[in-house]
Amino acid sequence: MSTAIKRNHLLDPEFMSRLERLDIVSRKIFAGKTKGERRSKRKGQSVEFADYRNYVVGDDLRFLDWNIYGRLERLFIKLFFEEEDLHVNVLIDASRSMEFGDPAKALYAKRVAAALAYIGLCNYNRVSLCAFSDRFGPEMSGIRGRRLIHQVLGFLSDIEPDGIGNMTAACKHFAIRYPQKGVVIVLSDFMDKGGYEAGLRYLVGRHYDLYAIQVLSPEEIDPPLAGDLRLLDVEDADTADVTVTRALLNRYKQNLRGYCEGLREFCTRRGVSYLFTSTAVPFDQMVLNYLRRRGLLR
C-alpha cells in the first residue's frame, strides 16, 4: 500500500483547528537556540522577574534596579526569565513492517507525527521530522511557524515505508545529529529484530524528553489466522512455518503482551514515556485524549 497520500488525508482542517489550542509539554526546561514562547533555563529579557544579582562592570545599565539603589545605595541587576523556543523532534519508523495493517501503521504514525508537528509549529517550537528504516532519513529539521505546515504534510506524505528497521543505527544517528535538548517522540512498532534497547539508550543518554509511541495493527494484536501457514516477514522475507492452533495463538498473544510490557518497563525505568496504541483506535481520539492524558499535550 502506498503511503504517498494526499496531504489533507493526514490532517483535515477541522482537526487542525482543534489542534491549535494544544501545546506540547516538556517535562524539562531546555535552553533554546532563539527566543521563543517558552521559558528557558537562561535568564534573559522576558517580562517575568527571576532574581537579583550584584552589578558587575559591563552589565547592561538598563537592568539596574534603581528603586533598590535608592533604598540601599547598592547596585543590583534585575534578572528576568529568558523565553526560548522548544525543539520538538519526531522520529518515524519507515521500515516495511509499518506498511502492515489496515489502516497501515505507517499512515497512522504519519498522522500522529503531522498532528504533533502542527501543534509544535503553532507554538513556535522548532520542529524536526526524521524517518528511519535501515538508514536514517529523509528528514526535515528545524522548521518553525505554522505557515510551514504544508511542507511538513508534504514531507510526511512522501515518506515511503521501505527497508528493514534498524532502530539502533537510526537513534545513534539522530543523537549525534540533534544534540539540542528537546522533546523526542519515537513512532514505531518497535518490532526490530536487532532490539530496541540500544537505540533508546542512545536517546536517553542525550537527556531528551523522550516519548515512545508503539503503534500496532489489530491484525498483530489478535491475528485472524488458522491452519497450516507459511508466514512471510515483509521486511526481511524471513519465513516461519506454523500450524496455527489455539495454543500457538495464545502463546503468540502472551509473547506480544510480554514484549510490550518489556518495552514499557524499559521506558519507565529510564524516564521515557511509553504509549501503546492500535490503529483501531481513532487517530483523533488518540491525539486529543490519549496524548493529553499522558501529558505530552495540554
| Residue whose CB is less far from another protein, 215 or 297 | 215
Q: Measured from the CB of residue 42, what is the shortest distance to another protein in angstroms?
A: 45
Round to whole Å and give the CA distance between 241 and 244: 9
CB of 110 to another protein, least distance (A): 17
With cell 524528553, the residue in question is 209
Interface with another protein (CB under 8 A) = 97, 100-101, 105, 189, 191, 193, 217, 219-220, 223, 225-235, 238-249, 251-252, 254-256, 259
Local structure of residue 76 (DSSP, 8 states): E
Least distance from C-beta 171 to another protein, angstroms? 19
Distances (CA, A) of 245 to 229, 231, 239, 248, 267: 11, 14, 18, 5, 33
Nearer of residues 128 and 217 to another protein, judged by Cβ? 217
3-class secondary-structure state, position 40 = strand
Minimal distance in Å, beta carbon 194 to another protein? 10
Q: Rank residues 73 and 241 by Cβ distance to another protein and give the closer one.
A: 241
Residue 240 beta carbon to another protein: minimum distance, rounded to whole angstroms: 4
CB closer to another protein, 25 vs 234 = 234
Nearer to another protein, 176 or 232 (CB): 232
Q: Are strands 87-93 and 126-132 parallel, antiparallel or unpaired?
A: parallel
